[in-house]
Amino acid sequence: MVAQQLLNGLFLGAVYALFAVGYTLVFGVLDILNLAHAAIFTAAAFAAFSLAAAGVPLPLAFLIAAVVGGVLGILLDRVAFAPLRRRNAGTLVPLISSIGVAIIIGAVLRGIYGVDELHFVTGGRDAGTTIHLGPVTFTTVELTIFVAAVVLMLALSWVLRSTTLGRSIRAVAQDRIAATLLGVDLERTIAATFFIASSLGGAAGVLTGLEYNSVTLDMGSPIELKGLAIIILGGMGSVTGAVIGGFIIGAVETLAVAFGLSEWRDAITFGVMFIILVARPSGLFGKRALRQA
């Protein structure tokens, strides 16, 4: 039972981490909370559903939907954040503006897809085959999700550390004005940040939809608050923190249930977060970690 529960926690944590990485990236660069991240998570899952329904193979549908998420991220920035940025609107106004965009995305999705739960695979089959390995059971979909999440997070880490774009992103995160003076194209870098963050959020949405074979209008709401908890726990703006925070929250949630405390699950999860924050108020990896990534 313990091995199965640890595996359950690992799969859950991988998707949490992937979602939170995109969430924290935007915060690290722009110092704003993008509350439309969960809406993009949902929109990408619907996009993948439409592609799969049109006969596109699932791996390709996943990649295209992640790109759709990224493009939505760029649009989100153009609509909700860029105009406010030009007018130095501070951090609270963009927060509200992103909530507005999230509501609009939700309404558009409802208009297109209706309110019913949608399923990648019908006829009650699992989207993958079940594997029994000693004391544990998992599906190929779960394994793929875990691998995809880890690969995407490693890829992000490489981009941030070893590419020109990554250096630009880190420079903008460090000091926007100085980066501009040194020749970094600010708007292009921000657009790239939104693309990366939102495609990762979108990827998390598609993977969640695939794992539970379920795409719904409100699938983003449970992960939205947890994502926020994870990035605070990991240290606002820290990509490493978001990954580790994601796995911690996934493990704590699973273990709370494993020890027979399911009705206390969320209280325990947020309690653990509270205790860590009391010990380290800036989160596990500090506030400025992205700038040294």
Distance CA(159)–CA(179), nearest Å, equals 18
Nearer to other proteins, 12 or 32 (CB): 12
Read off the DSSP letter of residue 216: -
Which of 55, 123, 183, 281 is in the footprint of other proteins by CB under 8 A? 123
For residue 289, CA distances in Å to 59, 152, 170 come to: 33, 19, 10
Read off the DSSP letter of residue 31: S
Site for other proteins in 151-210 (CB under 8 A): 208
116 near other proteins, rule: CB under 8 A: yes
For residue 79, CA distances in Å to 35, 76, 184, 228 come to: 14, 5, 22, 23
Tokens of 39: 């809406």
Q: Nearest 5°: phi and psi at 175? A: -160, 105
Nearer to other proteins, 123 or 183 (CB): 123
In the complex, least distance from residue 8 CB atom to other proteins, rounded to whole angstroms: 5
Q: Pick left, alpha or beta for residue 156 (phi over 0 → left; psi -120 to 50 → alpha; otherwise beta).
A: alpha
Nearer to other proteins, 265 or 288 (CB): 265
- Total binding residues toward other proteins, as defined by CB under 8 A: 42
Nearer to other proteins, 3 or 151 (CB): 3
Nearer to other proteins, 37 or 226 (CB): 226
114 near other proteins, rule: CB under 8 A: yes
HSE, side-chain direction, 13 A CA sphere, residue 2: 0
Binding mask 243-282 for other proteins (x = CB under 8 A): ----------xxx-xx-x-xx-xx----------------
Q: Which residues make Cβ contacts (< 8 Å) with residue 95, sequence separation at least 6?
A: 32, 33, 35
140 near other proteins, rule: CB under 8 A: no
Nearer to other proteins, 91 or 221 (CB): 221
Binding site for other proteins (CB under 8 A): 1, 4-5, 8-9, 12, 110, 114-117, 119, 122-126, 130, 132, 137, 139, 208, 211-214, 216-219, 221-222, 253-255, 257-258, 260, 262-263, 265-266
